[in-house]
Amino acid sequence: MVLLVPELTFLTGLSDLRKNSRMLKEVMWEMIQSPQQHYQRLTGLLRRIRDTPEASQELQRWGLVLATDIYRVRAVGLLGLPWAPGRGGSSGDSRSAQTQGHILPVERINLRHRSFLPAEELGWHREVTKEVPIAVISINSWLLIYPKRLQHLAKDLLASMRSSCGAMGMQVGQPSVQELRDDRIETYVRAIQSSLGSQDKVQLLLCIIPGGRDDIYGAIKKLCCVQSPVPSQVINAQSLVGHPGKIRSVVQKVLLQINCKLGGQLWGVDIPL
């Protein structure tokens, strides 16, 4: 059990960093650090707290003591190197990792056209998006809802989805389009309720909302998750603005999310007995 002292904690998030690209890059850099780098940064922080008289005195005033190292637990470690065609790997590779005196089998990550053993430098955002998922769902009956002033973004989104889905092995049919006269919450809710009530089976509801409207996002998710359960995807209009390469990358990630929400698989793991 971990007990947090309210006076020594604060909420964190990325909402305040959107306007500061430099800070956002620094946060993203921290998120992709390796486990060893995270450990070095944490132990460095502990040393700085210990060597700073003001920090030590403040902790003593609260009756708190920080250890010189992070809390350690015994865990199973699986080691391995990435495998690629022509580099000596195969799906029947029997290499194993030795951890805490036990020989453990290595889990192999499977994609549609490639498989590899996980490594510390493995980047899932790169490996998964450039490979065809294992199980792909076709989208035949779905709704697209957007306000009239975002009509051009909706057309670009549909065109990009059609051009990207083929390479990913997905089939995306023509949606039922609902164009809204404004971007009020009540307009979105009424349009969704009317569209879901007039169709027997809807695989997916895709909504484009104006940037910075978290209230609309919350209302759509509450409606689609609680009142009228249906898989939903909400896209911020700001993410669809920019050069074609950026929009294509956003659409590919959206298609991967939709595939998972509809029951598809991005990747699989072989776990030997």
Reading the chain (273 residues) residue by residue, the pLDDT tens digits are 778 787 777 766 656 656 667 777 777 777 788 888 889 989 999 999 999 999 999 999 999 988 888 888 877 665 544 443 433 344 444 444 444 444 455 677 888 877 877 766 666 666 666 677 788 888 888 999 999 999 999 999 999 998 888 878 888 899 999 999 999 999 999 999 888 877 778 899 999 999 888 899 999 999 999 888 899 999 999 989 888 888 888 998 999 999 999 998 888 887 765
Which amino acid is residue 41, in one-letter code?
Answer: R
Q: What's this model's pTM, rounded to 2 decimal places?
A: 0.61
- Among candidate residues 100, 7, 13, the one with its CA nearest the CA of residue 59: 7
Between 35-51 and 53-62, two packed helices, what is the crossing angle to 10 degrees? 90
Q: Is the dihedral of CA 194, 216, 148, 204 positive or negative?
A: negative
CA-based Rg of the chain, rounded to a whole angstrom? 24
User: What pLDDT does residue 179 have?
Assistant: 93
Which domains are assigned to the chain? Answer: 22-69 (no CATH), 125-269 (3.40.50.2300)
